[in-house]
């Protein structure tokens, strides 16, 4: 494969278009590198945002669960009625 590329470069040099061929090759390589970098950045950004949304959802659910578990529920029907007539003699 490398031999084939070298032969193509020699043919381009013979015809005087080596500079143009190298410029096109450089543009193609840099375009590929830029596209790969942008795709990786976008994927990382999407993944990070999804993880943050998931973390917020888990924390919110945990807060709701703690609030329900620790909230005292008072049923007034089960309470003893207050004693009338006062407490112990003083």
In 1-90, at which residue ranges do the beta strands (DSSP E only) sit? none
Give pTM, 2 decimals. 0.55
Residue 41: predicted pLDDT: 98
- Euclidean distance between the first and final Cα of the chain, in Å? 108
Spans of the chain, pLDDT less than 70: 70-73, 75-90
As a whole number of angstroms, the distance between CA 54 and CA 3 comes to 52
Domain ranges of the chain: 12-69
12: buried, middle or exposed (CB in 10 Å: 19+, 13-18, 0-12)? middle
As a whole number of angstroms, the distance between CA 31 and CA 50 comes to 28
């Amino acid at each position: 494969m490398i031999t084939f590329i070298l032969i193509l470069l020699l043919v381009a040099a013979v015809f005087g278009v080596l500079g143009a061929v190298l410029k096109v090759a450089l543009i193609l390589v840099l375009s590929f590198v830029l596209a790969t970098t942008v795709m990786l950045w976008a994927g990382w950004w999407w993944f990070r945002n999804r993880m943050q949304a998931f973390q917020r959802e888990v924390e919110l659910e945990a807060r709701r669960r703690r609030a329900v578990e620790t909230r005292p529920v008072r049923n007034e029907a089960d309470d003893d009625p207050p004693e009338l007539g006062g407490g112990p003699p003083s």
